[in-house]
Structure 1
Amino acid sequence: MSNPIPRSLRGAGREFMRGTEYGTQPPSDQMLGRPSPPLEVPYTKAKTVIPLPAPGDIVIPAVDLRDAIEQRESIRNYAAEPLTLAEIGFLLWCTQGVRQAVDGTFTLRTVPSAGARHAFETYLLINRVEDVPPGLYRYLALEHRLAEESRDPGIKQRVAAGCLNQQHILRSAVIFLWTAVPDRMTWRYGERGYRYMHLDAGHVCQNLYLAASGVRCGVCAIAAFDDAAMNRLLGIDGERQFLIYVATVGKMP
C-alpha cells in the first residue's frame, strides 16, 4: 500500500514544481529567435539622480571571510547612526554591481545569476543616509547611480505596514527591496525561470549579509509581506515586475 501524499503537499507549491520540470516547457523566446528584453527598467531622466562613489574608490576595512560567515546572523535592532553614501554604494555594488555589459544582451555582476540573466531591480527606502533626503530610490545598476522615486514622508510607515508591521523597518537606516522582472529570465528558460529567480534572490541577500559586516551593519531578510500592497506602493504591476525579497540594514548598536 502506497503512502498518501500529505494534504500540505497537494497545493500550488507542488503544482509549481511539477509545472516547471524539464520536459514540460514550450520553446523559450530565445529559442524562437526573439530579442532579449532590456537589461534595466527605463527611468525618467528628469528625476533627481544621485551619483555614487566609484566602487574602486570606496575604502572598506578588511573582513575575514570565515569570520563573516560564522558570525552571520539576522539583526533587527539598529543604532541611530546614519550610513554614508560610500557605504550605500558599496552595499549596492556588492549585491547588484555590474562589472561588464556584453552586447546589450546580458551583464556580468558581483552576484551569480542563472545564465547571467540578472532579473532584479533594487529599490532602496532610505531613512538615514548622509546627504541623501529620506525617500524611495531605485539603483541604476548600469550607471551605478540612485534615481529618486518618491519623497512621500509617509512611505516608511506604508512599507512597514506592507511588511506586516515589522517594526525593525522603522528603526533601520535603509531597506533593500528587490523586484523581479520575469521576462529577463523566462526569455531564456521559459516558466522554469521562475525557479531561478527565487534562487538568485538568495544569492543577492547573502551578499548583502556578508558585505554589511564590512561597514559595521546588521541585516535582516524579510519574505513576509503583502504582495499586492507592496507592488502598488512601488508602482509596479505584480506581473511583469513584482517584489521578491526585502532586507533591512542599519548600524550595529
Structure 2
Amino acid sequence: MGNTVGKEFMLRTRYAYLEGTGQSQGHTQPELELPFDSTGNIIKLPEPDLLPDTNVNFLELVEMRSTSRKYSDEPITLANLSQLLWCTQGVKLVMPDSATFRTVPSAGARHAFETYLLVNNVEGLKPGLYRFLAIDHKLIEITTADNITDEVTAALLNQQQVKKSAVTFIWTAVTARMTWRYGERGYRYLHLDAGHVCQNLYLTARILNCGACAIAAFDDEQINQILGIDGQEQFVIYAATVGK
C-alpha cells in the first residue's frame, strides 16, 4: 500500500530530508508579531498581574478538566478574558528582534501563533471578531458585523457551541516564524505547540468556572478567508470555545 498524505508528511519532515533553514542561510528573522493598524479600535485589557490570585489544587484541577459544549447566558468579564489570553499566549519577556518568552512552551521560543477571538458574550466588549496583540496585551477590533458569528459558526462546520459560547479562540500559525529555524520539520512543531496552548485554555477556564471545547474540525478555506489570511503563510490551526 502506497504512502498516504499523512505518512508522506511524516517521512518528508524527518531530519534526513531537511535542507538549510532560513536561519542557517542568514535570512532575516520574521517579526515576533504581525503588524497591525495602530489607528484601529484598540482595547486595553486588565493587566494580568493586577488580577486576583486564585488558590489552586493542581491535581484536582487536572482531574476536573473536561470538555463542555453547553454554556449558560452568563457573560464572562473582561478580566476573565484577559486571564484566558495571558495564560494561553501571555508575553513574559521580549528580546527585541530575537524572541518572546510566553506562558506556554514553543519550539525554540518561536511562538508562531496569532490569536483571534469571536466575542459573543463578554462584558464591556461589543460582539464581533478581534485579534489579540500579545506583546502589548491588548485587543484590536477586526469587525463587529452582525453576521460574523453566523459566518464563523458555518466555517467551524456549524458546531452550535460556537454560537452559545462567550468567546471562541481561533489560533493561526505564521509558518515563517517556525520554519525560519526548523525548515519543513517546523510544521510538526506548530501542531505540537497548538496542543500546549489549548491545554492551558482548558485549565484556566476551569479556574474561572468556565467550560471549554477544543475544535479541530473546520473548513480551512472558509475560516482563513473570514480572518483575511492566505491559508499558506498563515493559516488557522486550532480553535476552542469558552463559556460559563
- TM-score (norm. length: structure 2): 0.98
Q: CA–CA distance in 2 between the matches of 1:95 and 1:62?
A: 19
C-alpha contact 1:221 1:248 (8 A) present in aligned 2: yes
Q: CA–CA distance in 2 between the matches of 1:145 and 1:117?
A: 20
SS at match of 1:23: helix
Q: CA–CA distance in 1 between the matches of 2:236 and 2:53?
A: 30
The alignment status of 1:44 with 2:32, answered yes or no, reads no
More deviation, 61-70/229-238: 61-70
The alignment status of 1:232 with 2:225, answered yes or no, reads yes
SS at match of 1:92: helix
Q: CA–CA distance in 1 between the matches of 2:30 and 2:235?
A: 16
Q: Which runs of 5+ in 2 are unaligned?
A: none
The two structures, once aligned, show a CA RMSD in angstroms of: 0.9
The alignment status of 1:34 with 2:27, answered yes or no, reads yes
Q: Deviations over 1:153-196 (max 9, x none)?
A: 10101111111110111110000000000000000000000000
Q: 1:92 aligns with which of 85, 89, 97?
A: 85
Matched letter for residue 157 of structure 1: D
Which residue does the alignment assign to 2:174? Answer: 181
Q: CA–CA distance in 2 between the matches of 1:248 and 1:62?
A: 24
Q: 1:112 aligns with which of 95, 105, 114?
A: 105
Which residue does the alignment assign to 1:169? Answer: 162
Q: CA–CA distance in 1 between the matches of 2:55 and 2:238?
A: 28
Q: Deviations over 1:102-130 (max 9, x none)?
A: 13211100000000000000000000011
Instruction: Give runs of ≥4 in structure 1 deviating > 4 Å.
Output: none
Question: Which residues of 2 match residues 96-175 of structure 1 at below 5 A?
Answer: 96-175=89-168
Matched letter for residue 143 of structure 1: D
Rg bigger for which structure? 1
Q: 1:247 aligns with which of 229, 235, 240?
A: 240
C-alpha contact 1:162 1:230 (8 A) present in aligned 2: yes
Q: Which runs of 5+ in 1 are unaligned?
A: none
Q: CA–CA distance in 2 between the matches of 1:236 and 1:62?
A: 40
